[in-house]
Structure formats: structure tokens, C-alpha cells
Amino acid sequence: MKRFLSVLPNDVKRPLRNARDFVIRVKNLMLYQGKNHFCPVCQKSLRAFAPYGRSRRKGALCIYCGSLERHRLLWLYLTQKTDLFDGRPKDVLHIAPEPCFKPIFHQKLGSGYITADLNDDHVMVKMDITNIQYPDASFDVILCSHVLEHVPDDRKAMREFWRVLKPTGWAILLVPIMAEVTFEDPSIVDPQARFIAFGQEDHVRVYGRDFPDRLRGAGFTVQTTTVTDLVPDPEAAVQMGLTKDSGEIYFCTKLPG
């Protein structure tokens, strides 16, 4: 189903995707209510996190807010390691805002919070992140998760993020890390060929563990944080649906390392 939807035009696949997600949500609410696990994003308990993704990986999806492992990890980092919610006014640019975050961020961050996307109509600003329409040093915070793997010129997008970030600001730029070394081939444009090469029809590369080097090449200083850095207790991590495969946080600043 997911592969079928991915090749349809956006104005066709979005309603189909919404209908599919509604059916899945109702089913999951019946199956996964309980008290064994806890979602730090929506602060609700559940019997288990539901399977999600093409591989139907277990322990992934919160049945209430829709958060996945990477969202719960990011939430813990934002609340424990940053000043995002300290109440001081901030100009925040959120690219492709996740549904589990958007209403919370709107409430907590107020008028300084801007959502942006190139294809989604349910955001405040339509934006190509390789050509951001804001002046230099416009934002205190930039959040962009699992977007750059869709962008042909990701290095240009990284430079744009560096340009519009304030000198004392910070950005969290996340991608799926699926290899040791990043692999890309611009000649691969057919959706099926991209699926074979990159694991998804609308991906243009597979990122490796050299991803922080790309960020540094754009001018950023990068600090990497893992699940165990944030949640050293393995039992607590399991309770929140986090594993060593939940990804890493890449915290980027303009300040010297």
C-alpha cells in the first residue's frame, strides 16, 4: 500500500493516506490500550507501541499521538538538553512538522513558530529548503527531521540552514542512517530503481555514518547524542519504545566546537 501511494500525485495520495491512517488508528486504539509502556510526547500509557513501517517493526508507533521512536528520542532531547521551552521568545523554523509535535509546538512557542514544507499545504510557509526565502540569521532554532534524504542537493540545503541560523542559534538536522558510508547516484530517477537503491521510492540517497561530516562541511559544529546518553536505564528506554536503533540526535551550531 505504501509503495502504491508513493507514486501517486500528492493531491490524490494525501486523502487516501489520511483514510488509511484513520482506519489503522481506530484498530490500534482497540488493540494497544494498557499501562505497560509510556509515550513521553503525549504523556499517555499504553499496553505496547504498535508495529509500523514497511517491515512492520515492533514497538514503534504510539497509538495516541502517532510518535515513532525517532520522535520520542527527539522529544526527550528537546526537553532535557535544550532551551526550546524555557518561555523566552524564539524564532523557530520547523521543516515538515510532525503531527505529534505541531500542536504542542504551536501552543508552547507562540507566534515565533513557523512551519514550512515544499509539498504539504497544511503548513504556514511553502518552502524549498535549498532556497530559503528568509534573510541571514533569521532563526534561533531550526528543526528538520527525515527530509534531507528526499532533497537532491542536500549540501545546498545544509548551507541554507547555516545561513538563516542566528550566530547563537542551534539546529537539529536528522536523517535515517542506513549504511557506513553515504551512497547516492543522481542518475537513478525511476521510483522502482530508487526503491531498490535507497530503500524508498522518493529517497535520493542512503545516508551513512559520515552524515555529520556533511553538516560540518556546511559550516556547522556537530554534537551527536545517542539513546543511552539520554536514557541510560535500559528498562526505562524499553518502556518508552526506544532502542539503540532509534537513531541519533545531531545538534548543530555555528559556534566553534
Same domain, 96 and 222: yes
Same domain, 194 and 224: yes
Q: According to the model, what pLDDT value does residue 11 have?
A: 62
Q: What is the mean pLDDT of the chain?
A: 91
Same domain, 37 and 93: no
pLDDT band of 125, cuts 50, 70, 90: very high
Q: According to the model, what pLDDT value does residue 255 have?
A: 82
Average pLDDT score over residue span 181-203:
95
SS3 117: strand
- Tell me the whole-structure pTM to 2 decimals: 0.87
**From the DSSP assignment, how many helices (H) and strands (E) are in the chain?**
9, 14
Same domain, 97 and 217: yes
Same domain, 31 and 51: yes
Who wins on pLDDT, 255 or 186? 186
Same domain, 15 and 87: no
Residue 75, pLDDT > 90, answer yes
Same domain, 53 and 84: no
Pure H helices in 65-190? 69-81, 102-109, 154-164
Distances (CA, A) of 127 to 120, 138, 219, 225: 10, 15, 22, 28
The per-residue pLDDT for range 1-29, each reduced to its tens digit, is 445 545 555 566 667 766 766 676 667 66
Average pLDDT score over residue span 87-91:
96
Cell numbers placing 150:
528526499
Tell which of 18, 37, 67 closes a domain.
67
In the block, residue with C-alpha cell 501511494: 5
Distances (CA, A) of 74 to 47, 56, 223: 22, 21, 14
Quote the number of domains for the chain: 2
Tell which of 14, 35, 67 closes a domain.
67
- Give the Cα separation of 220 and 105 in Å (integer): 25
Average pLDDT score over residue span 170-180:
96
Same domain, 83 and 142: yes
Who wins on pLDDT, 64 or 35? 64
Same domain, 120 and 97: yes
Same domain, 132 and 19: no
The per-residue pLDDT for range 135-171, each reduced to its tens digit, is 999 999 999 999 999 999 999 999 999 999 999 999 9
The domain that contains 134 carries what CATH number?
Answer: 3.40.50.150
The angle at the Cα of 160, spanning 96 to 119, to the nearest 5 degrees, equals 30
Tell which of 10, 39, 67 closes a domain.
67
Q: According to the model, what pLDDT value does residue 6 have?
A: 53
Same domain, 162 and 61: no
Same domain, 37 and 122: no
Q: Which domain holds residue 144?
A: 69-253
- Give the Cα separation of 240 and 195 in Å (integer): 31
pLDDT band of 70, cuts 50, 70, 90: very high
Pure H helices in 58-202? 69-81, 102-109, 154-164, 191-198
Residue 95, pLDDT > 70, answer yes
pLDDT band of 79, cuts 50, 70, 90: very high
